[in-house]
Amino acid sequence: MEQRYGGLEAGGTKMVCAVVDDKGQWIDRLTIPTKRPTETMSQIVEFFKRNDITSLGIGSFGPLDLKEGSPTYGSLASTPKEGWEGYPLLQAFAELHVPIKITTDVNGAALAEATKGAAKGLDSCMYITVGTGIGAGAVVNGTVLDGLTHPEMGHIPVQRHPEDIYEGKCPYHGGCVEGMAAGPAIQDRWGKAGIELAADQNVWELEAYYLAQAIAAYTFVLSPKRIVIGGGVMKQEQLYPLIRASLVKQLNNYVDIGNPNEYIVAPGLGDNAGIEGAILLAKQAVQT
Amino acid sequence: MEQRYGGLEAGGTKMVCAVVDDKGQWIDRLTIPTKRPTETMSQIVEFFKRNDITSLGIGSFGPLDLKEGSPTYGSLASTPKEGWEGYPLLQAFAELHVPIKITTDVNGAALAEATKGAAKGLDSCMYITVGTGIGAGAVVNGTVLDGLTHPEMGHIPVQRHPEDIYEGKCPYHGGCVEGMAAGPAIQDRWGKAGIELAADQNVWELEAYYLAQAIAAYTFVLSPKRIVIGGGVMKQEQLYPLIRASLVKQLNNYVDIGNPNEYIVAPGLGDNAGIEGAILLAKQAVQT
């Protein structure tokens, strides 16, 4: 029987849906903005129904309840995203009656980059997205990193830059890396969106300082073989060399990361890492 | 043939050596202070020779070169520990002509705690030691966490406590968690060793603040199912409840760690986690 794999990359800004057949052909695709669940979800469920999918993979923004056996498995947990706190995302697709596999958006993207993207062939990598929020997923020993719940890497504490007085935007932790360096923090600190600040060197040096500090922490904790960084803020491609330079400075030769140009890279799958990961999860859902 | 497994827990303060037979009986044991390699290593090599070991497991302080295929595999890398920078630890045992497996001391301890200690039965845990330095190892999906090199979790950046003016003791990163909260930082900040400060509540609340901040970061990055904390500083057992309370406060309900008393625990193997891990590595060395 022909398989029709449905993938949903559920992001804080937009929802990307796709359907792929078992020859890898893309059959249909839908991208809509993430509004309240009532506005957004009926369109998505309708899209997958119309395409008669045989399984579904979901990579979603978080935090998600992914504890085995939890009565709210697959639901959003506490989130500042309006209307989504506690939303039963997995259950919303129950009417499709197909196998579903759900993980975080960034775990899905890390899986995709390690399977067919910029970290192809490595048994260890990280995928970081810098956009509305900051999140990261990881593949360790060839397997997506999971544990008590799922990583929430955007919320690690960072040290304030000596010349920065911005207090941080995270409603939970103030000056965690998401609070200091995600898109909304750039907007809030400088009074303009990142895209309007493209020519301002100070903006991107400070941005790189915080991202490199988080990446130094990830390096100290996880020691990944490669780090893939994507997301809306990284469209400012001048950030890549600035991050590499700041990382080398902050590691201060304590850890040898090899060639920084090979350690910190752009997504090999471009903006498709998230949705490709969701499709890979749909394939896994059929296998299990 | 009877196996005689040799284990070496190579620490910054002391070297613990043991020999165990294949029935699990402890045959011999030696603990000596860690001085310069010339003073220390001949005694250790002699100990293992005398005991006629059939394989050796080493859990060592770091940073170590553990890159596959490296010409300096098994050597110490840059370290502030006098005389040990670049020391070829693995090669020092070449004259024994037995299979040897080497990893970090804390990876060894994490393996031991997950195999037979305080995290027995869990496929994911961390082991943190707080002593001369701060280090941590992890087991993820049942396997010791490894990657580009090995984790160096003690060097993650932490935010300074608003009332703390101490600049940090790490020669590489100043105020990383090791620089703010390892034994030498306690001595340097307060002018006395931790053991003399046992009754001073301020000392341990500040200590718990920094350790909990690091543990929050590890939780956000790794999401371990349990965290085992040992090492000399943790002999101040009042730290355990203080760390749990500070961690809950710092996570601010963003991640559900369950019961903090089950999430943050003392080593199940007491001071033996490191040497038990080394013995487990010696067993693995024979299997591979």
Contact A254 B78 (CB under 8 A): yes
- Nearest chain B alpha carbon to A217: B156
Query: Quick check: B202 pLDDT over 90?
Result: yes
Tell me the chain A residues in contact with residue B85 when contact means C-beta distances shorter than 8 Å.
none
- Test A217 with B217 for CB contact under 8 angstroms: yes
B288 touches chain A (CB under 8 A): no
Six token digits for residue A249? 């400075």
Q: Which residues 112-141 of B have a C-beta within 8 angstroms of A?
A: 124, 136, 140-141
What is the reported pLDDT for B156? Answer: 94
Provide the whole-model pTM.
0.85
Q: Pick the closest to residue B137 from A218, A145, A222 (CA basis).
A: A222
Chain centre to alpha carbon of residue B262: 20
Per residue in B92-135, pLDDT (tens digit) is 999 999 999 998 989 999 999 999 999 998 989 999 999 988 99
B221/A218 Cβ within 8 A: yes
Is the ipTM higher than 0.85? The answer is no
pLDDT per position as a tens digit, A31-81? 999 999 999 999 999 999 999 999 999 999 888 888 767 889 999 987 878
Torsion of CA B193, B197, B198, B202, to 10 degrees: -130
Whether the CB-CB separation of B248 and B260 falls below 8 Å is answered with yes
d(CA A114, nearest CA chain B) in Å: 14
Tell me the Cα Rg of chain B: 19
Most A CBs within 10 Å, among B106, B128, B255, B264, to test the A interface: B255
- Mean pLDDT over A20-29 rounds to 94
* Residue B217 to chain A, least CA–CA distance (Å): 5
3-state secondary structure of B142: coil
Residues 6 or more apart in contact with residue A264 via CB below 8 angstroms:
A215, A227, A229, A240, A243, A244, A247
Give the pair of three-digit tokens for residue B76: 């110490």
Delimiting residues of CATH 3.30.420.40 domain(s) in chain A:
4-104+271-285, 118-266
Q: Quick one: tokens of B129?
A: 């030691």
Q: Locate the chain A residue with the closest alpha carbon to B152.
A: A220
A135-180 pLDDT, tens per residue?
999 998 877 887 777 888 999 999 999 999 999 999 888 899 999 9
CB count in 10 Å sphere of residue B137 = 32
Asked whether B78 and A254 are in contact (CB, 8 A), the reply is yes
Alpha-carbon distance values, B134 to A82, A168, B180, B183, B264 (Å) = 40, 28, 10, 9, 16
Percent helix, strand and coil across chain B, each to the nearest 5:
40, 20, 40
B209 interfaces chain A, CB cutoff of 8 Å? no
Chain A within 8 Å of B26 (Cβ-Cβ)? Answer: no
A67's CB contacts (< 8 A; 6+ apart) are A73, A148, A149
> What's the gap in Å between the CA of B275 and the closest CA on chain A?
23
Give the Å distances, CA to CA, from A244 to A131, A198, A266, B264.
19, 18, 12, 35
What letter does residue A85 receive in the DSSP assignment? Answer: T
Q: Tokens 């595999």 map to which residue?
A: B73
Residue A288 scores a pLDDT above 70: no
B189: helix, coil or strand? helix
Q: Does A175 touch chain B (CB under 8 A)?
A: yes
> Does residue B30 sit in helix, strand or coil?
strand
Spell out a b/e string for B237-271, using b for 16 or more CB atoms within 10 Å of the CB, else e.
Answer: eebbebbbebbbebbeebbebeebeebbbebbbee
Radius of gyration of chain A, Cα coordinates, nearest whole angstrom: 19
pLDDT, one tens digit per residue, over B216-254 is 999 999 999 999 999 899 999 999 999 999 999 999 888
pLDDT band, residue B40 (cuts 50/70/90): very high
Quickly state the pLDDT bin for B70 (edges 50, 70, 90).
confident
A-chain residues near B173 (CB < 8 A):
250, 252, 254
Q: How does A32-69 read in b/e, with b if 16+ C-beta sit within 10 Å?
A: eebeebeebbeebbebbeebebbbbbbbbbbbbbbeee
Q: CATH second-level architecture of B4-104+271-285? A: 2-Layer Sandwich (3.30)
Contacts of A216 in chain B (CB under 8 A): 156-157
Residue numbers in A near B149 (CB within 8 A): 223, 255-256
A148, A218, A265, best to mutate vs chain B, most B CBs in 10 Å: A148
Q: Does A70 touch chain B (CB under 8 A)?
A: no
CB A177 within 8 A of CB A164: no
- What is the third-level CATH fold of A118-266? Nucleotidyltransferase; domain 5 (3.30.420)
Length of chain A equals 288
- Considering only CA atoms, which of A165, A110, A175, A168 is closest in space to residue A140? A110
Q: Which of B211, B221, B223, B224 is nearest to B250 (CA)?
A: B211
Report the 10 Å Cβ neighbour count for B221: 28
**Interface contact flag, A149 B255, Cβ < 8 Å:** yes
For residue B218, what is the nearest residue in chain A, using CA coordinates? Answer: A221
